[in-house]
């Protein structure tokens, strides 16, 4: 219980503290109201695969309702870190962690944490679109049904709202009973976003959501992230630095498991403090 | 390796593959053609008036005016034969003792052959066995019997250096000069009139019970028994197998105990079926006493144990083939492990699981050894659903074996055996076909 509720309240009430959370925004971006507190915070957080330390003693605060991008070369631990937040790494038997990872002030890896409840609050969209082999409606309704909503009318409302939020309603509204695997890759990915939104999470984790998509579908996903910004805390892992600079408010740069730099996006891309960061963003290695 | 050799190797391997497939297809044809053609002979054949009489008396079926007139016609032609016999018997009485003895023996042979052909004669006592109550019911058998009547089989062993050779002598010659000599040309000419052969489609072969251990009637008790045993085995094995497969793939932690369990499962799949049969007798009947003696329940349990490893294997493979991404997606939506299995993994694995299940069902239907000691009897009537806990049942696989090896008159009812084989092959084939169709339909539904 390191990051308690009153800390967040104080960060909002005290203007002096709030300015430290201020981040540079391009003039086109809408401002985020009510955000800026640390939603997720890592304290000396390490992740091991057996003996191998994949993420090394990361300490960082992820700001509520802002978009945080995670960049870094392949194998630097950025996906591992992201997947640690909703405990998807539990699927790998050899994986264990040290340090603390706090979500809303509660330890994600605490003894009494219910990972099922956690995952309801921390939704995830994966690299490859992975709709279930069910109808579009059943895909979206899957989460709400899990959490006990069985009323057909209510489900329909949720499905429509989620699909609208994910900006795919107009494309699929006339074929909700068709199999979701019949959609194009980009539509499938937005469907996956809608499916995640249907359980009303607080955090949205996007693990390279556009790496399997063509540029047009990528642009739609990026627009979608802009739409959702301000409503959800969003974290996005990406290989595409233009994408990171386009969509994110703050950026984390990982290198060999270490969080090298975590700064407002504009600052990190224009004025990196670390030489490795500079080498990476200027494309000297990848 | 240069391009030329590589191409030659490639082509020769293709040829080898095509060749082996052709050999397999020919072997399959060689096996299937006699099964199918002879098996249909059990249902579609040329039946005599005796067959129709038998149906009327044993099954109360087919009584009609045409049958009455057929019987009248055949009786009219037969009465002449019987008249000849009476005439000859009187002649025999008047003969000198030595001559009488000689003719008496020959006459008995003729009379027996006639009985086999036409059934009991007027004045004969009622036979004990149903099979002797009727003449030949099938025309091709009647022709054989007629040949036996007209010709006497003799063996030529004059030359001790070669194997004895069979040859036929007309019986008419032996009776030359007596009143019976006219019988043989009469039978030869009027065989059709006496038996009135008609093309018959006897669906009762599938739906009737057998009469006098498969001499007449059909194989419904066997078909039903096979169905009970196979479905019963599935009722036990399918849920257990799927649950075990879910445990192995989703819950089991790698370790000594679980690797032992897995290898035990693989070993179980290779155990000979007769061993399962003995195990079923020893365990289910003698130890657990699920029934007094043989019963459908004990047989189904034994078959279930036998097909369990196959079902577990198939279900495991099917579950492992479900993409990991489905699991991740479901878990990331806040679903529990059990929910993920029940709502995502099992539905996606269903085609594979069902295919394994139906193939096992086919195997359970076809196995003989496990039910010999636990469920099967050679002759029996169809049992009701309530009797499955206590009664044994006839079953196709076991009765095919029985007719082939233990039946006292196996050679006379080959057509029944072929019919059973065809029925069993058809049942197994239909099951496998339905597995393919089911799989295709579910896969199509999953793919959208």
- pTM value is 0.81
Average pLDDT value over all residues in chain B: 90
Tell me: do B189 and B286 sit in the same domain: no
Q: Which residue from A126, A222, A129 is spatially nearest to A180, judged by alpha carbons?
A: A129
Tell me: do B185 and B235 sit in the same domain: no
| 3-class SS of residue A236 | strand
Tell me: do B265 and B164 sit in the same domain: no
With b meaning 16 or more CB within 10 Å and e meaning fewer, what string describes A58-72? bebbbbbbbbbbbbb
Q: Which of B251, B328, B334 to mutate to test the interface with A (most CBs of A within 10 A)?
A: B334
| 3-class SS of residue A46 | strand
pLDDT (0 to 100) of residue B213: 84
pLDDT (0 to 100) of residue A160: 92
Enclosing H/E stretch for A261: strand A258-264
Q: Which region among B20-24, B83-87, B170-174 has the lowest average model confidence (pLDDT)?
A: B170-174
Q: Which of B258, B333, B447 to mutate to test the interface with A (most CBs of A within 10 A)?
A: B333
What string of DSSP letters covers B302-355?
HHHHHHHHHHHHHHHHHHHTS-HHHHHHHHHTT--HHHHIIIIIHHHHHHHHHH
What string of DSSP letters covers B23-63?
HHHHHHHHHHHHHHHHHHTTTEEEE-HHHHHHHHHHH----
Instruction: Give the range of the structural domain holding residue B65, as residue numbers without chain letter.
Output: 51-200
Please report the number of interchain residue pairs, chain A to chain B, with beta-carbon separation below 8 angstroms.
80
- Say yes or no for a CB contact (<8 Å) between A123 and B333: yes
Residue B79 belongs to a domain: yes
Q: Of B132, B167, B200, which one is at a domain's C-terminal end?
A: B200
Low-confidence ranges of chain A (pLDDT < 70): 1-31, 33-35, 286
Write phi, then psi, for B219 (nearest 5 degrees).
-125, 25
Residue B175 belongs to a domain: yes
Residue in chain A nearest B442 by alpha carbon:
A133
Distance, in Å, from the CA atom of B435 to the CA atom of B440, rounded to the nearest integer, reads 9
pLDDT range class, residue B311, cuts 50, 70, 90: very high
Question: How many domains does one find in chain B?
Answer: 2
Residue B1 belongs to a domain: no
pLDDT (0 to 100) of residue A70: 93
pLDDT (0 to 100) of residue B371: 92
Tell me: do B370 and B255 sit in the same domain: yes
Residue in chain A nearest B345 by alpha carbon:
A132
| 3-class SS of residue B271 | coil
CB distance B410 to B400 below 8 Å:
no
- In CATH, what number is assigned to the domain containing residue B283? 1.10.3720.10
What string of DSSP letters covers A143-188?
HHHHTT---HHHHHHHHHHHHHHTT-HHHHTT-TTSBGGGS-HHHH
CB distance B292 to B388 below 8 Å:
no
Question: From chain A, which residues contact B within 8 Å (Cβ)?
Answer: 86, 88, 91, 93, 116-121, 123-124, 126, 128, 130-134, 142-143, 146-147, 178-182, 192, 195-196, 199
Token pair in block for residue B395: 């079953």
Token pair in block for residue B444: 């199509």
CB distance B43 to B203 below 8 Å:
yes
Q: Which residue from B273, B349, B274, B280 is spatially nearest to B315, judged by alpha carbons?
A: B349
Residue B16 belongs to a domain: no
pLDDT (0 to 100) of residue B233: 95
Tell me: do B289 and B377 sit in the same domain: yes
Residue B213 belongs to a domain: no
Average pLDDT score over residue span B43-68: 88
Q: Give the dihedral sign, CA B98/B104/B109/B114.
A: positive
Residue B211 belongs to a domain: no
Is the ipTM, as predicted for this complex, more than 0.85?
no
Tell me: do B407 and B288 sit in the same domain: yes
- Say yes or no for a CB contact (<8 Å) between A117 and B334: yes
Residue corresponding to tokens 């309603």: A169
CB distance B338 to B324 below 8 Å:
no
CA distance A109 to chain B (A): 16
Q: How many residues would you count in chain A?
A: 286
pLDDT digits (tens, 9 = 90+) for A210-263: 888 888 888 888 988 988 888 889 999 998 888 888 889 899 999 998 999 998
Average pLDDT score over residue span B141-152: 91
- Say yes or no for a CB contact (<8 Å) between A195 and B447: no
Residue B248 belongs to a domain: yes
Find the Cα–Cα–Cα–Cα dihedral B356, B357, B362, B365, rounded to 10°: 140
Residue B25 belongs to a domain: no
pLDDT (0 to 100) of residue A26: 60
CA distance B310 to chain A (A): 27
pLDDT digits (tens, 9 = 90+) for B179-234: 888 889 999 899 999 999 999 999 989 998 888 888 888 899 999 999 999 999 99
pLDDT digits (tens, 9 = 90+) for B405-436: 888 888 888 899 999 999 999 999 998 898 88
CB distance B393 to B232 below 8 Å:
no
Give yes or no for residue B2 having a pLDDT over 60: yes
Distance, in Å, from the CA atom of B342 to the CA atom of A188, rounded to the nearest integer, reads 23
Q: Of B200, B235, B259, which one is at a domain's C-terminal end?
A: B200
Tell me: do B247 and B350 sit in the same domain: yes
Token pair in block for residue B388: 């499955």
pLDDT (0 to 100) of residue A5: 40
Q: Which ranges of B197-255 would DSSP assign to H, the alpha helix?
A: 204-207, 220-246
Q: Which domains are seen in chain A, by residue range?
A: 5-281 (3.40.50.300)
Enclosing H/E stretch for A103: strand A95-103
Tell me: do B111 and B183 sit in the same domain: yes
Average pLDDT score over residue span B87-102: 87
Tell me: do B75 and B159 sit in the same domain: yes
Tell me: do B308 and B405 sit in the same domain: yes
pLDDT (0 to 100) of residue B77: 93
With b meaning 16 or more CB within 10 Å and e meaning fewer, what string describes B135-156? bbbbbebbbebbebbbbbeeee
- Say yes or no for a CB contact (<8 Å) between A142 and B325: no
Tell me: do B376 and B426 sit in the same domain: yes
pLDDT range class, residue B306, cuts 50, 70, 90: very high
Distance, in Å, from the CA atom of A117 to the CA atom of B335, rounded to the nearest integer, reads 9
Between A123, A131, A133, which is nearest B332 by CB? A123
pLDDT (0 to 100) of residue A19: 39
Q: Which of A103, A114, A130 to mutate to test the interface with B (most CBs of B within 10 A)?
A: A130
Residue corresponding to tokens 């082509």: B11
CA distance A261 to chain B (A): 28
Tell me: do B230 and B90 sit in the same domain: no
């Amino acid at each position: 219980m390191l990051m308690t509720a009153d800390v967040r309240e104080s960060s909002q009430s005290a203007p002096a503290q709030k300015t430290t959370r201020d981040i540079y925004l391009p003039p086109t971006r809408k401002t985020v109201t009510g955000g800026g507190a640390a939603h997720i915070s890592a304290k000396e957080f390490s992740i091991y695969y057996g003996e191998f330390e994949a993420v090394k003693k990361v300490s960082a605060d992820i700001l509520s309702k802002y978009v945080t991008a995670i960049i870094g070369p392949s194998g630097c631990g950025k996906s591992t870190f992201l997947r640690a937040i909703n405990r998807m790494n539990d699927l790998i038997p050899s994986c264990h962690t040290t340090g603390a990872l706090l979500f809303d002030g509660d330890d994600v890896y605490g003894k009494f944490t219910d990972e099922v409840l956690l995952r309801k609050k921390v939704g995830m969209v994966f690299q490859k679109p992975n709709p279930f082999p069910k109808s579009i409606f059943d895909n979206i309704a899957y989460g709400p049904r899990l959490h006990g909503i069985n009323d057909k009318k209510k489900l329909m409302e949720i499905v429509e709202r989620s699909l609208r939020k994910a900006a795919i309603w107009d494309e699929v509204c006339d074929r909700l009973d068709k199999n979701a695997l019949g959609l194009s890759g980009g539509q499938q990915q937005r469907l996956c976003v809608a499916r995640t939104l249907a359980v009303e999470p607080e955090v949205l984790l996007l693990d390279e959501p556009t790496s399997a998509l063509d540029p047009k579908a990528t642009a739609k996903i990026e627009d979608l992230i802009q739409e959702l910004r301000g409503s959800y805390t969003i974290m996005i892992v990406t290989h595409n630095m233009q994408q990171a600079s386009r969509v994110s408010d703050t950026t984390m740069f990982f290198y060999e498991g270490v969080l090298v730099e975590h700064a407002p996006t504009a600052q990190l891309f224009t004025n990196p403090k670390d030489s490795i960061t500079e080498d990476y963003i200027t494309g000297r290695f990848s | 390796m240069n391009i030329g050799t590589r191409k030659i190797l490639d082509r020769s391997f293709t040829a080898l593959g095509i060749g082996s497939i052709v050999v397999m297809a020919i072997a399959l044809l060689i096996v299937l053609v006699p099964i199918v053609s002879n098996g249909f002979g059990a249902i579609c054949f040329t039946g005599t008036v005796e067959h129709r009489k038998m149906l009327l008396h044993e099954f109360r079926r087919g009584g009609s005016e045409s049958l009455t007139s057929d019987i009248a016609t055949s009786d009219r032609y037969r009465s002449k034969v019987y008249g000849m016999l009476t005439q000859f018997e009187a002649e025999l009485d008047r003969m000198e003792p030595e001559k009488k003895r000689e003719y008496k023996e020959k006459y008995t042979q003729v009379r027996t052959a006639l009985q086999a052909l036409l059934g009991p004669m007027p004045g004969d006592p009622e036979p004990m066995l149903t099979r002797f109550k009727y003449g030949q019911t099938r025309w091709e058998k009647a022709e054989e019997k007629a040949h036996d009547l007209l010709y006497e089989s003799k063996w030529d062993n004059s030359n001790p250096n070669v194997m004895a050779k069979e040859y036929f002598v007309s019986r008419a010659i032996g009776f030359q000069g007596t009143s019976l000599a006219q019988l043989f040309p009469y039978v030869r000419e009027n065989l059709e009139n006496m038996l009135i052969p008609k093309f018959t489609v006897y669906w009762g072969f599938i739906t009737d019970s057998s009469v006098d251990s498969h001499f007449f009637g059909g194989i419904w008790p066997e078909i039903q028994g096979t169905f009970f045993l196979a479905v019963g085995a599935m009722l036990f094995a399918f849920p257990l197998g799927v649950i075990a497969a879910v445990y192995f793939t989703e819950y089991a932690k790698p370790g000594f105990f679980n690797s032992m369990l897995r290898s035990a499962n693989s070993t179980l799949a290779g155990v000979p079926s007769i061993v399962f049969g003995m195990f079923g007798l020893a365990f289910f009947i003698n130890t657990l006493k699920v029934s007094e003696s043989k019963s459908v329940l004990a047989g189904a349990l034994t078959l279930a144990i036998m097909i369990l490893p196959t079902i577990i294997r198939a279900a495991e493979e099917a579950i492992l083939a479900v993409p990991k991404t489905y699991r991740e997606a479901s878990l990331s939506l806040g679903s529990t492990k059990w929910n993920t299995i029940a709502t995502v993994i099992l539905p996606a694995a269903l085609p594979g699981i069902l295919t394994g299940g139906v193939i096992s069902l086919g195997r359970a239907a076809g196995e003989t050894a496990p039910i010999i000691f636990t469920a099967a009897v050679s002759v029996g009537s169809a049992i009701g659903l309530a009797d499955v806990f206590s009664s044994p049942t006839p079953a196709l696989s076991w009765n095919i074996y029985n007719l082939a090896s233990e039946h006292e008159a196996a050679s006379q009812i080959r057509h029944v055996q072929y019919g059973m084989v065809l029925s069993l092959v058809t049942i197994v084939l239909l099951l496998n076909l339905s597995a393919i169709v089911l799989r295709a339909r579910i896969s199509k539904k999953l793919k959208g």
